[in-house]
Amino acid sequence: MGMPAKRATVYLEPDLHKALRLKAVETSSSVSELINKAVRETMAEDSEDFTAFEERVGEPLISYDEMVKRLRKDGRI
């Protein structure tokens, strides 16, 4: 059995709250479930970013100007 849910007060913009309530009805979910899912997904993305940073820690650094020059040379900007 999982841990019991913790209660928190979150202040949402009125339009966002309305959209969440509509989405909850459409998906047969609660607003809390939608918020938990969104927070989990955001934290997973952060975790992926941190992993990528750790994997690239040994790579040489280049300046912003050098990166722009490379992108122009490659025709990407």
Sign of CA dihedral 48, 53, 59, 61: positive
Provide the domain count of the chain: 1
In a domain, 51, yes or no: yes
Q: Quick one: what percent of the chain has pLDDT higher than 70?
A: 99
The answer on pLDDT for 6 being more than 80 is: yes
Alpha carbon distance 73, 16 (integer Å): 43
Largest CA distance in the chain: 57
In a domain, 46, yes or no: yes
In which domain, by residue range, is 33 found? 14-73
The answer on pLDDT for 1 being more than 60 is: no
Confidence (pLDDT) at 19: 98
Name the 3-class secondary structure at 51.
Answer: helix
Q: Quick one: what percent of the chain has pLDDT higher than 90?
A: 71
Report how far Cα 34 is from the mean position of its chain's Cα atoms: 14
